[in-house]
Amino acid sequence: MPKKKSPEPVDEVLLAKRYDDFIMSRDGSQLVKEYGLDCVKVWEVFGEDNSYGGMFDRPDVPSLGLYKGKLREVIAVAVMTPRWFSWGGGGKIRPYHAPKRPRIKKV
C-alpha cells in the first residue's frame, strides 16, 4: 500500500501577507464588515477572473470549492488555493446559498 502523501508545508509569511492583503481589499473589508471573522457559514470560494479587468459574476469565473467554517479560516485556505490569483488582486468569497429545489407536481 503506498504511503499517504503529507500536505505541503504552509509558508506562514506568505499566508500572513495574502490574508492581510485580502482583509484590507475592498471586497475583503466589506465581507468582514458584513459578517465578521467569526461567522460560521458555508462559503463558496471563487478564483480570480482569467480575463484582466473582467466581471466576477460571469459563468467562466472558477469556483474553487465550498468550505464550512469561520470566515477567518476560510480566508486562510482561500488565499493559498491555486487559481485564487491569476493577474491581480485575487478571488472572491461569498456565502453559499443552495439553489431551491423545484416543486414537482404529480400529474
Other CB atoms within 10 Å distance of the CB of residue 21: 13
Please state the pTM of the whole predicted model. 0.77
Contact between 23 and 29 under an 8 Å Cβ cutoff? The reply is yes
pLDDT tens digits for 13-45?
999 999 999 999 999 999 999 999 999 999 999
CA distance 74 to 107: 45
- Amino acid identity at 73: E
Return the sign of the alpha-carbon dihedral for residues 82, 52, 95, 41. Answer: positive
CA distances (Å), origin 30, targets 8, 14, 103: 31, 22, 35
